[in-house]
Amino acid sequence: MNDKKPLMDYRRVQKLQTPLLLTGALLSGVGTSVSVPLVILGIAIMLFAIVIGVLYYRCPHCGRPLGRIGEGGAYCPHCGKALNAPVEEPVRSITVPAYAKLNLTLDILGKRDDGYHEMQMVMQTVSLHDDVTVTLTDGKGITCRVDGAALPCDERNLAVKAARAFCEAMDYGGGIDIALIKRIPSEAGMAGGSADAAAVLRALRELVSPTLTDERLEQISASVGSDVPFCIRGGTQLAEGRGEKLTVLKPAPRFFVAVCKPDFPISTPELFHRVDARTSRCRPDTDGICAALADGDMPRLARRMYNVFEDVLTHREGEIAAIKSRLLDGGALGAVMSGTGSAVFGLFADADSAAYAKRRLARDYQECFLTETIARLEI
């Protein structure tokens, strides 16, 4: 951002400097034989001419001093731009897509001392997305607006939490406005909040600090939530640790996906608690799914999808299994609950079967989506 733009145009300085210097010299010359105050006034005018030259005889584009080089030349010696070219306003607003994720697998390896769980998940970005507009404002603080869902606009919203984390990490004190257009269902296990947070961080890097490294951005994102680093990178990744340790996998082949989100949430801490209370459970074949990805073998991959949270669903949450059956009956190669639910999705080899399965589920469920896998994001 060009925040060094001079307050006075360099052409005005050029026009002012010579008459001021001449007047100052004349006054101090005449003053030596007439009065001392006149000499002082003359010197003050000359000093003023020198000071405005130092302060404001600067490139209108990059703000650096033009020195003597710029006097006759038409181009800035530093940035090379034509001095009389219109000055571009710095970009202060940007809209970024925030893509949803799906868990092809979810495994819990154990409970950690910090209260979190050691995870092993194969995660995939899909095209279903929110739109996140970040604007730098003249005021102070973070404001947020949400369209398309009833969500809080304070620190409980991960997008706001991400902006705060960025300001603290980068020592940025300017105002930030966040506008969210929501499409990703909430309480679905599709990282709707984390995706918005990641989009805010990507946008703020572009607007405020383009030299910030990917590693540092991911570090900041991990303090916002366990799924945010994945949402920064996207694509097909193995997520371990809390979910923040990522290994790039061979991108999944293009899948068509029918998603159905039943209208009940499942509490995330409650689900982890249920898993802790159980000893034996089925586990996903994570190595097998990574191998299927490496071979580009879609049916093998789809058959191996599994989420350990499905093991601890209660009778009340039996609809998850019912939706899975309907997706499989509709021709899905595999179906599974995503993350901590309650969204369930099926992978299809062709768009028509996915659309048909989605239409049938949409008769009974309000929140049904048709989407597809997408590759890693450019960060």
- For ligand C5P, the binding residues (CB under 6 A) are 116-117, 119, 225-227, 242-243, 268-269, 272
Neighbours of 65 (CB within 10 A): 18
Q: Is 101 a catalytic residue?
A: yes
The residue number with the shortest CB distance to ligand C5P is 226
b/e 281-312 (16+ beta carbons within 10 angstroms → b) = eeebbbeebbebbeeeebebbbbbbbbbbbeb
> What's the closest the beta carbon of residue 147 comes to ligand C5P, in angstroms?
24
Q: Which lies closer to ligand C5P via its Cβ, residue 235 or residue 243? A: 243
Neighbours of 350 (CB within 10 A): 11
What are the respective helix, strand and coil percentages of the chain, to the nearest 5? Answer: 40, 25, 35
> What's the closest the beta carbon of residue 313 comes to ligand C5P, in angstroms?
17
Sorted by sequence, the CB contacts under 8 Å of residue 120 that are 6+ apart come out as 105, 107, 108, 109, 238, 239, 240, 286
Q: Is 214 a catalytic residue?
A: no
| Residue 16 identity (one-letter amino acid) | L
Report residue 374 as tokens: 């997408």
Q: Which lies closer to ligand C5P via its Cβ, residue 166 or residue 272? A: 272
> What's the closest the beta carbon of residue 111 comes to ligand C5P, in angstroms?
8
Q: Which lies closer to ligand C5P via its Cβ, residue 157 or residue 226? A: 226
Sorted by sequence, the CB contacts under 8 Å of residue 180 that are 6+ apart come out as 130, 131, 132, 144, 145, 146, 147, 148, 151, 159, 196
Q: Contact 336/305 with Cβ under 8 angstroms?
A: yes
Q: Which lies closer to ligand C5P via its Cβ, residue 15 or residue 111? A: 111
DSSP states of 158-185: HHHHHHHHHHHHHT--SEEEEEEE--SP
Q: Which lies closer to ligand C5P via its Cβ, residue 86 or residue 269? A: 269
Q: State the DSSP code for 58.
A: B
Q: Which lies closer to ligand C5P via its Cβ, residue 224 or residue 335? A: 224
- The distance of Cα 171 from the centroid of its chain, to the nearest Å, equals 18
> What's the closest the beta carbon of residue 329 comes to ligand C5P, in angstroms?
33
Sorted by sequence, the CB contacts under 8 Å of residue 297 that are 6+ apart come out as none
Q: Which lies closer to ligand C5P via its Cβ, residue 116 or residue 356? A: 116
Catalytic residue among 107, 182, 227, 324: 227
Q: Reduced to 3 states, what is the DSSP secondary structure of residue 259?
A: strand
Which of these, 143, 376, 372, 147, lies nearest to 249 by C-alpha position? 376
> What's the closest the beta carbon of residue 194 comes to ligand C5P, in angstroms?
7
Report residue 171 as tokens: 């020592």
> Which helix (H) or strand (E) segment is 13 a member of?
helix 10-34
> What's the closest the beta carbon of residue 374 comes to ligand C5P, in angstroms?
22
DSSP states of 181-200: E--SPSSSSS-HHHHHHHHH
Q: Which lies closer to ligand C5P via its Cβ, residue 117 or residue 129? A: 117
> What's the closest the beta carbon of residue 119 comes to ligand C5P, in angstroms?
5
> What's the closest the beta carbon of residue 232 comes to ligand C5P, in angstroms?
14
Query: Which residues participate in catalysis according to the annotation?
Result: 101, 227
